[in-house]
Structure 1
Amino acid sequence: MSARRSGRQRHAAKRYSIDAFEGLKDVLGSSDSDEDAPTQEGEESEDEYSLNGNEDIGNEEENELSLDEGSGDNASAEEHGEYDEGGDKYDDNDSIIGPDTYLTEKGRKSTHKAGKRRINRAQKGDYYHVRGISELKRHQGKDNRILYTYGGVDEDVIPFLMARDKWFNQVILPARKHDKYGTGGLAYSFYFTEKMREKELSLDTSGLRSALYSNQKQGSLSPSEALQYLPHPRFPHINFLFGSTRKPVFQNLAIYHSIPLASGWPQTEKADKTTPISKPKSKPGWLFNVGGKPQCINWLPNHNVSKQYLAVAIFTDAAPLDPQVARAFIPTVPSPASIQIWSFNLLEIEGEPRSFDDSVSPRLEAVICTDWGPIKEFQWCPTLRNVHGNEESIHLGILAGVWGDGKLRILNIDLPTRNQAPDTAPQNIHITSAAFESQAPESIFTCLTWLSYNHIAAGCANGSVAVWDLTATFSGYSRSWPSNPKPWFYQNLHDTFILKIESGYPSRPHLICTSSMDGFLRLTDIRSPTADSLFGGRNRLANICLSWQDITQSFISADDTYMLRMYPLRRFFSTLGAGRLDSNATSVATSLLHPGVLTACLDGTVIALNSLRKPIDLKSDVWQLVWFAHEYRPGKGAWTVKNDGVEPSAQENGRSPQNGSTMDTLPNPLVNGQQQPSFSRELLLGQPMCRITEGFKLETKHFSSGNTAARSKEGEIYTTIHELESAVTQVCWNPNPICGGWAAAAMGSGLVRVEDLAI
Structure 2
Amino acid sequence: MAPVRRSGRLSNVRTKYSEDPFLDAGISGGESDSAYLSASETKKQKGKKKALQVDSSSDNDFVAVERDDDDEYNSPDEVSDEGDAPGSDSDATDDDDNDDMIENGGKPSISTSRYHKKRNPDRAIVLAGTDTHSRGILNPMEHAAKPIHLRVTFGTDQRDLLAIVYSRDRWFRGIDSGFPSRASLNEAKSLPDYGYGLTFGLGREEWKTDSTRAWDWYYQDLDNGRPSKRQRLETIAEGEARQAYLPPPKAQKHTVIIGPADEQRVFRLGQHESLNFGDAWGARQPQAKKSGPRVESKSRKSSSKVGGTGSTPVAERKIREGWILNLGSKVQCSAWVPNQNGLTQFLAVVTPVSREQRINHSTTSESKAAPAFSPSLPDPAALQIWAFKAKDDGSLTKTIDMNFEPRLRLTLCTDWGDVRRIAWCPMAREPREEDDEDVSKNVGLLAGIWGDGSVRVLDIKVSRDPRGSEFYKVASPMFTAKPPSTVCTCVAWLSPSDIAVGCANGFVAVWSIAASQKSTSHPAPYVYRQFHSTYILNIAPAYPTHPHLLGTTSMDGDTCLTSILDHQVDMVQTTRMRIGSSHISYSPFLQSFFSSDENDFARLLAMRRFFTTSAVARLPSTISAMAPCSSWHPSALLGCTGGSVMATNPLRRLLHPKEKQWQQTWFAHEWVPGHEGDDDSGVSRFQDGFKADNISLLRNTLGERKLINGTSVVTIFEEGTHITSLAWNPSQICAGWACAGMGCGLIRVEDLAI
Alignment-mate amino acid for residue 295 of structure 1: Q
CA gap of 1:391–1:143, structure 2 versus 1, over 3 A, is same
Give, in angstroms, the shift of residue 613 of structure 1.
Answer: 1.2
What residue in structure 2 maps to residue 166 of structure 1?
170
What residue in structure 1 maps to residue 35 of structure 2?
none
Give, in angstroms, the shift of residue 280 of structure 1.
Answer: 2.7
Alignment-mate amino acid for residue 692 of structure 1: F
Give, in angstroms, the shift of residue 545 of structure 1.
Answer: 1.3
What residue in structure 1 maps to residue 666 of structure 2?
627
1:173-184 to structure 2, matched below 5 A, reads: 173-178=179-184
What residue in structure 2 maps to residue 472 of structure 1?
515
> 2:300 matched to 1:294?
no
8 Å CA contact 2:616–2:697 kept in 1: the answer is no
Give, in angstroms, the shift of residue 542 of structure 1.
Answer: 1.2
Alpha-carbon distance between aligned partners in 1 of 2:150 and 2:605, rounded to the nearest angstrom: 14
8 Å CA contact 2:645–2:667 kept in 1: the answer is yes
Secondary structure at 2:332 match in 1: strand
What residue in structure 2 maps to residue 139 of structure 1?
143
Residue deviations 1:556-576, cap 9 Å, x none? 111113111001111111111
What residue in structure 2 maps to residue 499 of structure 1?
537
1:453-602 to structure 2, matched below 5 A, reads: 453-474=496-517, 477=518, 481-589=519-627, 590-602=629-641
Alignment-mate amino acid for residue 350 of structure 1: G
Q: 2:684 aligns with which of 678, 681, 690?
A: 690
8 Å CA contact 1:270–1:276 kept in 2: the answer is no
Secondary structure at 2:705 match in 1: helix
Alpha-carbon distance between aligned partners in 2 of 1:624 and 1:196, rounded to the nearest angstrom: 35
8 Å CA contact 2:210–2:495 kept in 1: the answer is no
Q: 2:458 aligns with which of 384, 392, 411?
A: 411
CA gap of 1:338–1:706, structure 2 versus 1, over 3 A, is same
What residue in structure 2 maps to residue 665 of structure 1?
none
Q: 1:430 aligns with which of 473, 489, 507?
A: 473
Alpha-carbon distance between aligned partners in 2 of 1:562 and 1:252, rounded to the nearest angstrom: 33
8 Å CA contact 1:337–1:373 kept in 2: the answer is yes
Alignment-mate amino acid for residue 440 of structure 1: P
What residue in structure 1 maps to residue 711 of structure 2?
716
What residue in structure 2 maps to residue 608 of structure 1?
647
Secondary structure at 2:151 match in 1: helix
Give, in angstroms, the shift of residue 171 of structure 1.
Answer: 2.0
1:262-411 to structure 2, matched below 5 A, reads: 262-267=278-283, 277=314, 279-316=316-353, 324-387=368-431, 388-389=435-436, 392-411=439-458
8 Å CA contact 1:265–1:280 kept in 2: the answer is yes
TM-score with structure 2 length normalisation? 0.75
Residue deviations 1:715-759, cap 9 Å, x none? 112111000110011111111111111111111111111111112
1:12-31 to structure 2, matched below 5 A, reads: 21=47
8 Å CA contact 1:167–1:184 kept in 2: the answer is no
Alpha-carbon distance between aligned partners in 2 of 1:413 and 1:361, rounded to the nearest angstrom: 22
Alpha-carbon distance between aligned partners in 1 of 2:555 and 2:260, rounded to the nearest angstrom: 41
Q: 1:652 aligns with which of 650, 658, 677?
A: 677
Alpha-carbon distance between aligned partners in 2 of 1:199 and 1:376, rounded to the nearest angstrom: 31
What residue in structure 1 maps to residue 230 of structure 2?
215
Alignment-mate amino acid for residue 290 of structure 1: L
Secondary structure at 2:413 match in 1: strand
Calculate percent identity across the aligned residue pairs: 32
Give, in angstroms, the shift of residue 452 of structure 1.
Answer: 0.7
> 2:215 matched to 1:205?
yes
TM-score with structure 1 length normalisation? 0.75
Q: 1:730 aligns with which of 725, 728, 738?
A: 725
Alpha-carbon distance between aligned partners in 2 of 1:255 and 1:103, rounded to the nearest angstrom: 80
8 Å CA contact 1:236–1:255 kept in 2: the answer is no
CA gap of 1:189–1:163, structure 2 versus 1, over 3 A, is farther
Give, in angstroms, the shift of residue 139 of structure 1.
Answer: 2.5
Give, in angstroms, the shift of residue 500 of structure 1.
Answer: 0.5
Give, in angstroms, the shift of residue 180 of structure 1.
Answer: 8.6
What residue in structure 2 maps to residue 679 of structure 1?
none
8 Å CA contact 1:209–1:412 kept in 2: the answer is no
8 Å CA contact 2:281–2:320 kept in 1: the answer is no
Residue deviations 1:385-418, cap 9 Å, x none? 1354567210011111110000011111111233
Give, in angstroms, the shift of residue 190 of structure 1.
Answer: 3.3
CA gap of 1:118–1:688, structure 2 versus 1, over 3 A, is closer
Larger Rg: 1
Give, in angstroms, the shift of residue 586 of structure 1.
Answer: 1.7
Give, in angstroms, the shift of residue 217 of structure 1.
Answer: 1.5
Give, in angstroms, the shift of residue 233 of structure 1.
Answer: 4.4
Secondary structure at 1:710 match in 2: coil
What residue in structure 1 maps to residue 748 of structure 2?
753
8 Å CA contact 2:559–2:575 kept in 1: the answer is yes
8 Å CA contact 1:311–1:339 kept in 2: the answer is yes
Give, in angstroms, the shift of residue 283 of structure 1.
Answer: 2.0
Alignment-mate amino acid for residue 233 of structure 2: Q
Give, in angstroms, the shift of residue 689 of structure 1.
Answer: 0.5
Q: 2:240 aligns with which of 213, 225, 242?
A: 225
Give, in angstroms, the shift of residue 98 of structure 1.
Answer: 10
Alpha-carbon distance between aligned partners in 2 of 1:288 and 1:553, rounded to the nearest angstrom: 35
Alignment-mate amino acid for residue 266 of structure 2: F
Alpha-carbon distance between aligned partners in 2 of 1:209 and 1:295, rounded to the nearest angstrom: 33
Give, in angstroms, the shift of residue 633 of structure 1.
Answer: 0.6
8 Å CA contact 2:159–2:202 kept in 1: the answer is no
Give, in angstroms, the shift of residue 198 of structure 1.
Answer: 2.2
Secondary structure at 1:552 match in 2: coil
Give, in angstroms, the shift of residue 207 of structure 1.
Answer: 3.4
Alpha-carbon distance between aligned partners in 2 of 1:24 and 1:145, rounded to the nearest angstrom: 40
Secondary structure at 1:451 match in 2: strand
What residue in structure 2 maps to residue 259 of structure 1?
275
Q: 1:190 aligns with which of 163, 178, 200?
A: 200
> 2:695 matched to 1:701?
yes
Residue deviations 1:13-61, cap 9 Å, x none? xxxx996655859x99xxx9xxxxxxxxxxxxxxxxxxxxxxxxxxxxx
Give, in angstroms, the shift of residue 194 of structure 1.
Answer: 4.3
What residue in structure 2 maps to residue 12 of structure 1?
none
8 Å CA contact 1:457–1:466 kept in 2: the answer is yes
8 Å CA contact 2:442–2:462 kept in 1: the answer is yes
CA gap of 1:146–1:459, structure 2 versus 1, over 3 A, is same
Task: Please give the root-mean-square deviation of Cα atoms over the aligned residues, in Å.
Answer: 3.3
What residue in structure 1 maps to residue 3 of structure 2?
none
Alpha-carbon distance between aligned partners in 2 of 1:70 and 1:261, rounded to the nearest angstrom: 59
CA gap of 1:119–1:139, structure 2 versus 1, over 3 A, is closer
Secondary structure at 2:211 match in 1: helix
Give, in angstroms, the shift of residue 281 of structure 1.
Answer: 2.8
Moved more, 281-290 or 265-274: 265-274
Residue deviations 1:499-542, cap 9 Å, x none? 11111111211010111110110110111111001111111111
Alignment-mate amino acid for residue 524 of structure 2: K
